[in-house]
Chain A
């Protein structure tokens, strides 16, 4: 089976140029300025952009155990619609992914469905309780690509030291959700002027920064690979810069919402803006953007965190934390950052593809002859408007609901198969 993608503007070897791409079965067979070879199907990409399939290091599929929020079917379909072809699932499900059986369940289900490649992240500690080290090495045999207690944070520094020593022993990267529980307390939003105005209790940047500082020191001590999830504050970036300057094995990611929104988004008590870490000040947001440009921040990850309507339809301080990420990620970043001239399209695509793949050493994120045909085709002139009806995720908790955004993912190919195809010009 041969498919030919004609006349697209292709992100190839770090730059955009007009190319044709020949797909043979699940692989890219050729990429050239012009290919005239006969194919079973020809995909006309004139006027459209062709990117490597997006890679997401951070998402919550809620399967097993919380399938009323999302399941592996709706989650991977939503990911495909967002242009993703490889996603990494966090282990905070019920039961927790702290054992090889859970790892194998997810891998097998995702493979059977085929909407998106799912890589599994195992728990650092059993049941995410921060008490005992999980069976990381056994889970690694099942295919995990990293360990994380995401959503939770190991508070005990001695235990974290041992976890990092142990993970380092097996070459497993440790991904941290940095949050000091005492400093964060029952906080709801960033400790800025909106919190003062709304009378909501706060999660200060310090809650994140003291753990990042601690774990950078532990990484230096253990030589363990440390990846810092959803970094949100200017001072946290300063800590990461120091670590990188020292040559420590530290990387970090930022979410689309921390790049595009600030604390002001919470002013109407919209629970779809409630997330951890919270949306911070404009000064922090601008620092994140600068760090993404300079490469201090390695990549973008969605932290796709679906929650059911009735969970979010509550008083602000009673609603759960989390933002639905897959379907709005590209369009929100393109509209607010690239289209307005704050970020190049090249860096955005790099941060969604090759850069995240590099962080965890995944074989993904580039278009190259002989590699899997994971491709995302976008029309940057078209707009999309996410609605409760057209979202594929089971949950609709995005601050971009009903807001038109530019940059539409038209088609997604995963292993040469179409996993998402926009129905009409505007659909």
Chain B
């Protein structure tokens, strides 16, 4: 049954480039990495001599730390490029930035950028493998992989599961990548949120269900994911107030009853407690929110290992 997959020097722009079998292979590899993370000495020499650049043109402390920890634990060297102190702020183009970094001998780029499609550009200019750590509202495939890993670990399989994602679907790259990945593994996904925060033609593009009513959306859900609701959407005229949003879409003890008993509760973070999710749910025994974070490091270790061709 053991199939040989070649991940060496491949990019991860989004999950549509990866087959269901390849995603499963990554999950299995992540399982092995998770064991390393539980050891007292959390480090293996497998990527010694390789250099990973975390190119964060948009700030994100959590994702960057997760990637850097992953690289460190595999003994790769890590250099970090941050928007706030970088040349891009001084008007340098992404192309010139990548040419400069490439000249320093980077083996793999991890990029976070507010512009959709920028990971493809980094690959075009660098000819090196690139992992997308979030490009605008487009994709966030490592978050999707860690979400999928977390569900798979608890439920054994995603086949036939009903997964409901609630919140600002319009602005979420996490949803888009999850929809691709979860569907490949056989889950049925429902997205739910107010109409002003729902992109057009979701059913056609992703084969998912769209619901505007939380109760209907949560019915029979095996797994419920909340998304961060940002206050700035209010000033953009997309909804009137956080209070009104919460009234209709919050994940609480009362609303989660509409889902299956013991349904998994997830959130990609950072959470707005009291807005999209109440502490009574976020900290409940059903919640796997902190495990998601731990799994993130393992999944990213697996990807770096597979793409840079580490020796097991």
**B95, B113, B138, B204: the one within 8 Å of A198 (CB):** B138
Kindly specify which of B38-46, B60-68, B117-125, B267-275 makes contact with the partner chain: B117-125
Min CB distance B221 to A, Å, is 23
Chain B contacts of A317 at CB under 8 A? 114-116, 136
* Extra pairs beyond A201-B137, A314-B95, A317-B116 (8, CB < 8 Å): A193-B201, A196-B200, A199-B116, A199-B136, A200-B116, A269-B121, A315-B115, A317-B115
Chain B contacts of A193 at CB under 8 A? 200-201, 204-205
- Given the known A-B contacts A313-B93, A314-B93, A317-B136, are A196 and B202 also in contact in the complex, defined by CB atoms under 8 Å? yes
Chain A contacts of B162 at CB under 8 A? none
Are A192 and B93 in touch, CB under 8 angstroms?
no
* Interchain CA distance A192-B201 in the complex, whole Å: 7
Are B113 and A192 in touch, CB under 8 angstroms?
no
Chain A contacts of B200 at CB under 8 A? 191-193, 195-196
Task: Determine whether B49 belongs to the interface, using a CB cutoff of 8 Å to chain A.
Answer: no
Chain A contacts of B115 at CB under 8 A? 315-318
- Given the known A-B contacts A315-B115, A315-B118, A317-B116, are A199 and B93 also in contact in the complex, defined by CB atoms under 8 Å? no
Per-position binary interface string of chain A over residues 265-280, scored 1 when its CB falls under 8 Å from any chain B CB and 0 otherwise: 0001100000000000
- Given the known A-B contacts A192-B201, A196-B200, are A316 and B117 also in contact in the complex, defined by CB atoms under 8 Å? yes
Chain A contacts of B93 at CB under 8 A? 310, 313-314
Per the CB 8 Å criterion, the residue count for chain B at the interface is 24
Interface pairs A-B: 3 shortest CB-CB: A269-B117, A199-B137, A315-B115
Are A269 and B116 in touch, CB under 8 angstroms?
yes
Are B94 and A314 in touch, CB under 8 angstroms?
yes
Task: Determine whether B176 belongs to the interface, using a CB cutoff of 8 Å to chain A.
Answer: yes
Indicate the member of A191, A201, A310, A315 with the most B CB atoms within 10 Å.
Answer: A315
What number of A-B contacts does a CB cutoff of 8 Å give?
Answer: 59
Per-position binary interface string of chain B over residues 175-193, scored 1 when its CB falls under 8 Å from any chain A CB and 0 otherwise: 0100000000000000000
Chain A contacts of B34 at CB under 8 A? none
- Given the known A-B contacts A310-B93, A313-B93, are A196 and B199 also in contact in the complex, defined by CB atoms under 8 Å? yes
**B95, B120, B139, B202: the one within 8 Å of A199 (CB):** B139
* Interchain CA distance A313-B120 in the complex, whole Å: 12
Chain B contacts of A268 at CB under 8 A? 120
Are A315 and B173 in touch, CB under 8 angstroms?
no
Chain A contacts of B117 at CB under 8 A? 198, 269, 315-316
Per-position binary interface string of chain B over residues 101-142, scored 1 when its CB falls under 8 Å from any chain A CB and 0 otherwise: 000000000000111111011000000000000011111000
Question: Interface residue tally of chain A, by bracket?
Answer: 10 to 19
**Chain B residues in the interface with A (C-beta under 8 A):** 93-95, 113-118, 120-121, 135-139, 173, 176, 199-202, 204-205
Are A195 and B94 in touch, CB under 8 angstroms?
no
* Interchain CA distance A197-B206 in the complex, whole Å: 8
* Interchain CA distance A380-B141 in the complex, whole Å: 47
Chain B contacts of A192 at CB under 8 A? 200-201
* Interchain CA distance A200-B115 in the complex, whole Å: 8
| CB under 8 Å from chain B, chain A span 363-418 | none
| CB under 8 Å from chain B, chain A span 166-197 | 191-193, 195-197
Min CB distance A296 to B, Å, is 27
* Interchain CA distance A158-B190 in the complex, whole Å: 47
- Given the known A-B contacts A269-B120, A316-B116, A317-B116, are A197 and B176 also in contact in the complex, defined by CB atoms under 8 Å? yes
**B118, B121, B173, B205: the one within 8 Å of A196 (CB):** B205
Beta-carbon nearest neighbor of A196 in chain B: B199
Per-position binary interface string of chain A over residues 97-114, scored 1 when its CB falls under 8 Å from any chain B CB and 0 otherwise: 000000000000000000
* Interchain CA distance A315-B138 in the complex, whole Å: 13
Min CB distance B260 to A, Å, is 29
* Interchain CA distance A351-B173 in the complex, whole Å: 44
Min CB distance A331 to B, Å, is 27
* Interchain CA distance A191-B201 in the complex, whole Å: 9
Give 12 A-B contacts (CB < 8 Å), ordered by A residue: A193-B204, A197-B205, A198-B117, A199-B116, A199-B139, A269-B120, A269-B121, A310-B95, A314-B93, A315-B94, A315-B121, A316-B116
Beta-carbon nearest neighbor of A191 in chain B: B200
| CB under 8 Å from chain B, chain A span 242-274 | 268-269
* Interchain CA distance A314-B122 in the complex, whole Å: 10
Are B176 and A199 in touch, CB under 8 angstroms?
yes
Min CB distance B296 to A, Å, is 21
* Interchain CA distance A220-B114 in the complex, whole Å: 45
Chain B contacts of A318 at CB under 8 A? 115
Per-position binary interface string of chain A over residues 197-218, scored 1 when its CB falls under 8 Å from any chain B CB and 0 otherwise: 1111100000000000000000
* Interchain CA distance A316-B138 in the complex, whole Å: 12
Beta-carbon nearest neighbor of A316 in chain B: B117
Beta-carbon nearest neighbor of B117 in chain A: A269
Min CB distance B141 to A, Å, is 13
Are A199 and B173 in touch, CB under 8 angstroms?
yes
